[in-house]
């Protein structure tokens, strides 16, 4: 059985980092019958100072069959310790999540590229997208220039999960060894019974499950509710960690000006294990993000029978034609308003038809028997 050495900033029981954690958890869940995973990660969650309770750091812990995790403490994060972990852990393939983390992306990459005949994979997790480059643009462009000059990625295989992400990497001209385009695995769900929400005409329950940040476009979603008039009542519940206080303050200002028929609730973070049952309590996922290289919440929403109102900057496209919701142009916020009003006006029968479409689509996506073979080819 081949061994995969993984570096990722945050892993379960963490959940605040969102998609990257879910991507890795799902990958391990689907492939642990063929590969043994050794995962190096932090012993605290994203934006959390306190370490995990009941998790012993700085040693290998067996979480499940073929799933071993090394929760490294902050005081043990060093070049020597990362180097020691790489050289003392037997592995056939290394898999690096992200590109900007010093201890979990950059250092492992610099060490691995010096090992003869080392097979290592970089999963950028959307971090090379046009949207992410708008933040700290000078620093990131300088890093890319250096990567080109020294051939930083010439021995690396890249794992991309969307055509746009693959194109972004090609446009950077960092010349990796190879680029695979393979979508993320869906979650592994136990047998479940859907609890379908009732839909009354004139009432709408929206939900967002994402960190509160510019990339997730929370402010835009709230402005769509504020800047247009709606006939009917709307409840919009927001779950997610507040990434930037200044950004959230802008959101709060818009919330304070909403009309009486629109109510917004901030309900903080939610554990990944609770997302599926939560989504069944809402009519639509409302998440007009600036870009997603996958969008786990979107797929999970489909699985839960909850259609979506999202932007056209994700891999989930042509939703209107398929009867799954809306994927809309961010340059035309009035289209979001029209979709929201149409959702408000839906009666029980129309909504349940839409809900059934999402479940059927999700089941077809999950039943992709070729996906594992694509991962086998990449991992070897």
pLDDT, one tens digit per residue, over 268-280 is 888 877 888 899 9
Question: Residue 169 pLDDT more than 80?
Answer: yes
- Residue 193's pLDDT is what? 63
**Residue 296: CATH number of its domain:** 3.40.50.2000
Show the domain range for 133.
2-185
The answer to whether residues 129 and 51 belong to one domain is yes
The answer to whether residues 31 and 178 belong to one domain is yes
Nearest Cα to 112, choosing from 3, 6, 2?
6
Question: Residue 133 pLDDT more than 60?
Answer: no
User: Looking at the domain assignment, is residue 374 inside a domain?
Assistant: no
Residue that the structure tokens 């950004």 belong to: 247
User: Looking at the domain assignment, is residue 214 inside a domain?
Assistant: yes
Is residue 162 very low, low, confident or very high in pLDDT (cuts 50, 70, 90)? confident
The answer to whether residues 90 and 225 belong to one domain is no
The answer to whether residues 239 and 285 belong to one domain is yes
Structural domain total, the chain:
2
- Residue 376's pLDDT is what? 95
Average pLDDT over residues 121-145: 72
Question: Residue 135 pLDDT more than 70?
Answer: no
Do residues 225 and 219 make contact, with C-beta atoms less than 8 angstroms apart? no
Residue that the structure tokens 């201890």 belong to: 103
The helices-and-strands tally (H runs, E runs) of the chain is 13, 14
> How large a percentage of the chain has pLDDT more than 90?
71
The answer to whether residues 152 and 211 belong to one domain is no
The answer to whether residues 31 and 135 belong to one domain is yes
Average pLDDT over residues 205-227: 95
The answer to whether residues 230 and 332 belong to one domain is yes
Is residue 190 very low, low, confident or very high in pLDDT (cuts 50, 70, 90)? low
- Residue 192's pLDDT is what? 61
Q: By three-state DSSP, how is residue 300 classified?
A: helix
The answer to whether residues 276 and 306 belong to one domain is yes
User: Looking at the domain assignment, is residue 379 inside a domain?
Assistant: no
The answer to whether residues 218 and 154 belong to one domain is no
The answer to whether residues 167 and 224 belong to one domain is no
Q: Which of 5-9, 49-53, 146-150, 194-198 has the lowest mean pLDDT?
A: 146-150
Phi, psi of 26 (to 5 degrees): -65, -40
Average pLDDT over residues 198-221: 95
User: Looking at the domain assignment, is residue 370 inside a domain?
Assistant: no
Instruction: Give the domain-ending residue among 128, 159, 185.
Output: 185
CA distances from 191 to 78, 188, 328 (A): 43, 10, 33
Q: What is the largest CA-CA distance in the chain?
A: 66
Nearest Cα to 145, choosing from 116, 172, 180, 107?
172
User: Looking at the domain assignment, is residue 51 inside a domain?
Assistant: yes
- Residue 269's pLDDT is what? 84
Tokens standing for 317?
Answer: 């496209």
- Residue 137's pLDDT is what? 62
Average pLDDT over residues 158-175: 87
User: Looking at the domain assignment, is residue 373 inside a domain?
Assistant: no
The answer to whether residues 215 and 347 belong to one domain is yes
Question: Residue 146 pLDDT more than 80?
Answer: no
Average pLDDT over residues 178-195: 82
pTM (global) more than 0.85: no
- Residue 140's pLDDT is what? 67
Is residue 243 very low, low, confident or very high in pLDDT (cuts 50, 70, 90)? confident
The answer to whether residues 178 and 226 belong to one domain is no
Question: Residue 287 pLDDT more than 70?
Answer: yes
Q: To the nearest whole number, what is the mean pLDDT of the chain?
A: 91
Cis omega (within 30 of 0) for bond into 140: no
């Amino acid at each position: 059985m081949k061994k995969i050495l993984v570096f990722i900033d945050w892993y379960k029981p963490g959940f605040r980092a969102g998609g990257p954690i879910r991507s890795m958890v799902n990958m391990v869940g689907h492939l642990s019958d063929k590969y043994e995973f050794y995962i190096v990660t932090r012993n605290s969650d994203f934006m959390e100072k306190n370490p995990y309770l009941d998790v012993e750091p700085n040693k290998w812990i067996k979480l499940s069959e073929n799933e071993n995790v090394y929760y490294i403490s902050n005081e043990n994060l060093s070049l020597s310790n990362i180097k020691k972990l790489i050289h003392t852990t037997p592995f056939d393939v290394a898999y690096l999540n992200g590109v900007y983390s010093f201890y979990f992306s950059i250092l492992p990459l610099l060490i691995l590229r010096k090992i003869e005949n080392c097979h290592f994979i970089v999963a950028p997790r959307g971090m090379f997208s046009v949207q992410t480059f708008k933040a700290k643009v000078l620093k990131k462009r300088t890093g890319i220039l250096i990567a080109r000059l020294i051939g930083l990625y010439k021995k690396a295989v890249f794992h991309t999960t969307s055509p746009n992400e693959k194109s972004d990497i090609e446009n950077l001209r960092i010349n990796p060894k190879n680029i695979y385009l393979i979508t993320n695995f869906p979650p592994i769900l136990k047998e479940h019974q859907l609890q379908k929400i009732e839909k009354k005409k004139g009432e709408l329950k929206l939900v967002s499950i994402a960190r509160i940040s510019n990339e997730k476009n929370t402010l835009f979603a709230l402005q769509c509710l504020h800047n247009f008039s709606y006939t009917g009542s709307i409840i919009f519940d927001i779950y997610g960690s507040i990434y930037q206080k200044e950004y959230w303050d802008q959101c709060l200002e818009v919330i304070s000006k909403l009309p009486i028929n629109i109510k917004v609730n901030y309900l903080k973070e939610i554990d990944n294990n609770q997302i599926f049952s939560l989504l069944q309590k809402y009519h639509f996922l409302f998440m007009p993000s600036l870009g997603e290289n996958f969008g786990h919440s979107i797929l999970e929403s489909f699985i839960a029978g909850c259609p979506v109102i999202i932007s056209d900057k994700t891999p989930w496209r042509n939703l209107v034609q398929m009867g799954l919701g809306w994927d809309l142009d961010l340059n035309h916020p009035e289209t979001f308003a029209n979709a929201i009003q149409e959702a408000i006006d839906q009666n029980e029968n129309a909504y349940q038809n839409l809900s059934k479409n999402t479940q059927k689509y999700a089941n077809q996506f999950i039943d992709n028997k070729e996906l594992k073979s694509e991962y086998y080819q990449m991992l070897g």
